[in-house]
Amino acid sequence: MAVVEMTGISLIGPEEEIVELAGELLTLGNFEPVTLDFALERRPASLSSGGARIVTFQKNPYDELLEKLDHVWKVAGAELPEELGCIRGTPPCSRDECFERVAEVAKRIEDWKNREEALEEKREKLLAAGNFLDALADVGRNVEESLNTRYLSITFGRLSSENYKKLEEMAAVTPLLVYPAAAEKGYILVIVFCAKDYMEEAGKIFRSVYLKEYELGEIFEGAGEDLRERLRERQLDTERELRVLREAPRNYLERSRTEMEKLYCSVHSLQRIYALCQKRGELGGIFILSGIIPSPTLGEVSGRVDELGPNTLLLTEKGRDLQKRGRELPTLLKNNFLAKTFQEIVALYSLPAYGETDPSPLVALSFCLFFAFMFGDVGHGFMIAAGAWYLAKKGILSKAFASVIRIAGVSAMIFGLLYGSVFGSEEILPSLWTSPMRGIDDLIRTSLFVGVAFMSMGILINIPALRRAGRWGKMLFDGEGLAGFLFY
């Protein structure tokens, strides 16, 4: 039950071995990568008087691949694979396979998107054309008469809602008549009437509002009595194609789910591996990867290096030696179940620095004791424990905090039995120790004794920590050292 001792390691070898070993370090867990200037005593710019440069890498190429795959799942309306199954282990697909497959899938999605946009535009044109036909029918005119006028020019096009407002404002001061035929998804299809003599000026206005013009002759090709019906059929066909196209990403993902999840996990793992190697160095084709691992796992790491990296050199440095060089080491706590539960409480304040004493066991004991001492009641303790269990089951409370509250509730129930208190009543159960209402003197004496005991325990725990740190003066004469313990 203490802060785990750490060891610094550096792997030096060819790229393929370093990348594979980085994947194994992910599998083992608790590997903290560090920059080269952390691992090297000399300046990282050079390793020798000859000035051999160490090149470091910062950009992670797999970030973009992962974003593209995230987009595939988003477009398909599906949930991403569980990342827990993708974090550890050697990637099932190689780097080249990942780049090739992601590019292929991304192109497929892009093609579907472009086709969907084209069909959307076609559907909007057909919808607007139908509305235009209905408007002509209301005034008793047909398409041929309207398109083949001597003095009138008709322009059909699409523009954004914001630019449509600008076009309306210009129409108020120019000889333009603007008719909104259809509106959808922030765009408006309009039919603009103006004199043919004014078309040159009208063209400038259309360009200023970014009006995308459509050829009316193409839309009304083959005009006749059944034109409205044919337009409706073309519109229905377009909508059917759109529905099929919108379902294409989801159907593709369902058909290829196993393969796609394998690809996603491969890219995710490679992205994590590269993140470990992101601050690595390269020296003449030899790659360097440095980090911090728990000392108990050093034997396993060494075995993996012997197995997977025959050409890789493993260098180690003890944590205390790194500290002497002024390096700050990460903290990893190792406790039993009860104390581990209260690590969350310790983390709320601050984790102990490397080399300091882990307060989790003392926090577990003091939290349960003090809470139960103050709020000892069988009924209230049961309600607290039951409420924590229910909130954890509903996902409102995290598992760790729910465990803390449940343990506190059980402790309150135990002291409730000592007090003989049930929902504030001391008449239901006999007290096994004292009564909060009638034994106040006992409670005051006990609280003073427990307070002094815990303060003294804290000083006693701090004395060995100061000795290990070599701070002899503070250990002997400080208020938190031996002098403080003797005169407290």
Tell me: do 148 and 216 sit in the same domain. Answer: yes
pLDDT at 146: 63
Q: How many CB atoms lie within 10 A of CB 319?
A: 21
Asked whether residue 48 is domain-assigned, the answer is: yes
The whole-angstrom separation of Cα 480 and Cα 268 is 49
- Angle 20-24-26 (CA atoms, 0-180°, nearest 5)? 115
Domain final residue, candidates 297, 324, 351: 324
What tokens were used for 134? 């209905």
Asked whether residue 151 is domain-assigned, the answer is: yes
Tell me: do 472 and 346 sit in the same domain. Answer: yes
CATH number of the domain that residue 169 is part of: 3.30.70.100
Tell me: do 412 and 315 sit in the same domain. Answer: no
Tell me: do 221 and 129 sit in the same domain. Answer: yes
Tell me: do 338 and 417 sit in the same domain. Answer: yes
Tell me: do 420 and 318 sit in the same domain. Answer: no
The whole-angstrom separation of Cα 386 and Cα 280 is 50
Asked whether residue 387 is domain-assigned, the answer is: yes
Question: Half-sphere exposure (CA, 13 Å, Cβ side) for 299?
Answer: 1
Distance between the two ends of the chain, CA-based, in angstroms? 28
What tokens were used for 119? 């069909």
Which residues form the domain of 7?
2-58+278-324
Domain final residue, candidates 216, 243, 270: 243
Asked whether residue 218 is domain-assigned, the answer is: yes
| Amino acid identity for residue 206 in this structure | F
Tell me: do 340 and 483 sit in the same domain. Answer: yes
Task: Measure CA 382 to chain center.
Answer: 37
pLDDT at 390: 92
3-state secondary structure the chain: CEECCEEEEEEEECHHHHHHHHHHHHHHCCCEECCHHHHCCCCCCECCCCCCECEECCCCCHHHHHHHHHHHHHHHCCCCCCHHHCCCCCCCCCHHHHHHHHHHHHHHHHHHHHHHHHHHHHHHHHHHHHHHHHHHHHCCCCHHHHHCCCCEEEEEEEEEHHHHHHHHHHHCCCCEEEEEEEEECCEEEEEEEEEHHHHHHHHHHHHHCCCEEECHHHHCCCCCCCHHHHHHHHHHHHHHHHHHHHHHHHHHHHHCHHHHHHHHHHHHHHHHHHHHHCCCEEECCEEEEEEEEEHHHHHHHHHHHHHHCCCCEEEEEEHHHHHHCCCCCCCCEECCHHHHHCHHHHHHHCCCCCCCCCCHHHHHHHHHHHHHHHHCCHHHHHHHHHHHHHHHHCCCCCHHHHHHHHHHHHHHHHHHHHHCCECCECCCCCCCCCCCCCCHHHHHHHHHHHHHHHHHHHHHHHHHHHHHCCCHHHHHHCCCCHHHHHHC
pLDDT at 219: 64
Tell me: do 45 and 152 sit in the same domain. Answer: no
Selection from 17, 407, 91 nearest residue 263 by Cα: 91
Q: Which residues pair with 188 in a beta bridge?
A: 159, 183
Exposed e or buried b per residue across 56-93, where buried means at least 16 C-beta atoms within 10 angstroms of its C-beta? eeeebebeebbebbeebbebbeeeebeeeebeeeebeb
The whole-angstrom separation of Cα 473 and Cα 50 is 46
> Count of domains in the chain?
3
Tell me: do 23 and 121 sit in the same domain. Answer: no
Tell me: do 341 and 478 sit in the same domain. Answer: yes
Asked whether residue 111 is domain-assigned, the answer is: no
The whole-angstrom separation of Cα 307 and Cα 21 is 10
The whole-angstrom separation of Cα 146 and Cα 149 is 6
Tell me: do 460 and 364 sit in the same domain. Answer: yes
The whole-angstrom separation of Cα 447 and Cα 344 is 26
pLDDT at 89: 53
Alpha carbon of 194 to those of 212, 216, 316, 336: distances in Å? 17, 15, 83, 85
Look-up of token digits 């404002």 = 169
pTM over 0.75: no
The whole-angstrom separation of Cα 358 and Cα 465 is 10
Tell me: do 295 and 225 sit in the same domain. Answer: no
Mean per-residue pLDDT pooled into runs of 10, the chain (488 residues): 80 83 77 70 44 54 83 81 57 78 88 86 75 68 66 82 89 87 79 86 89 72 64 82 86 85 81 68 72 88 88 86 78 77 77 77 86 91 93 85 90 92 87 84 88 86 79 81 78
pLDDT at 413: 94
